[in-house]
């Protein structure tokens, strides 16, 4: 079992796809990361060199301004995207509000009809209970007057 797995590993390392993968790894991962690190170190070295070379940090202020610009650019891009989204939403809402009153007035009319029908149906359903309670109250009052008892 161990011999079979070791032969599979050696076979995969000698295959063409593995060699192609190693070449791609160097060109697509290691080289760009290495170049980026070298560029960052070079920029850092330039900043340190100009800071030490010039008196009173004159060019350090210039480098600070440049770095501030590079820090502000992504925030401005994000703000531009947010502004575009908000502009689109406002534009769509104004178009919707121009169309909406026609449909809301029709909806309000039909809701009013529904309210009246529901209120009428509820009154019809409650009417027998109200009439029954009224009859009981009338009968008890009549009996109280006939018998002569007074409520206190």
44 plus 83 within the same structural domain: no
90 plus 131 within the same structural domain: yes
141 plus 76 within the same structural domain: yes
Checking if the pLDDT of 12 tops 80, the result is no
CA–chain centroid gap for 142, Å, is 70
40 plus 74 within the same structural domain: no
Mean pLDDT across the stretch 118-130? Answer: 92
59 CB-near residues (< 8 Å, 6+ apart): 50, 51
95 plus 127 within the same structural domain: yes
Q: Please, are residues 70 and 77 in contact by the beta-carbon 8 Å criterion? A: no
Quick one: pLDDT at residue 106? 86
Q: Quickly list H helices, 15-150.
A: 16-25, 31-53, 58-147
Q: Is residue 116 in some structural domain? A: yes
Quick one: pLDDT at residue 23? 82
47 plus 91 within the same structural domain: no
Query: For residue 76, what are the domain limits?
Result: 70-152
For a pLDDT cut of 90, what percent of the chain falls above it? 36
Domain count, the chain: 2
Checking if the pLDDT of 150 tops 70, the result is no
76 plus 149 within the same structural domain: yes
* Lookup: tokens for 24: 């791609």
Mean pLDDT across the stretch 8-19? Answer: 69
3-class DSSP state of 148: coil
Q: Is residue 62 in some structural domain? A: no
Q: Is the dihedral of CA 109, 111, 117, 120 positive or negative?
A: negative
Quick one: pLDDT at residue 36? 92
Checking if the pLDDT of 2 tops 60, the result is no
pLDDT one-digit tens code per residue, 82-110: 999 999 999 999 998 888 887 888 888 99
């Amino acid at each position: 079992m161990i011999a079979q797995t070791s032969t599979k590993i050696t076979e995969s390392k000698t295959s063409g796809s593995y060699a192609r993968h190693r070449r791609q790894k160097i060109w697509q991962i290691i080289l760009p990361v290495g170049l980026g690190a070298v560029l960052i170190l070079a920029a850092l070295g330039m900043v340190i060199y100009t800071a030490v070379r010039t008196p009173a940090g004159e060019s350090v202020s210039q480098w600070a301004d440049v770095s501030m610009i590079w820090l502000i650019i992504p925030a401005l891009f994000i703000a531009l995207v947010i502004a575009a989204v908000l502009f689109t939403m406002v534009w769509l809402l104004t178009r919707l509000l121009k169309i909406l009153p026609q449909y809301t007035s029709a909806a309000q009319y039909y809701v009013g009809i529904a309210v009246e029908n529901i209120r009428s149906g509820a009154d019809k359903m409650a009417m027998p209970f109200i009439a029954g309670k009224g009859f009981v109250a009338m009968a008890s009052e009549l009996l109280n007057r006939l018998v002569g008892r007074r409520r206190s």
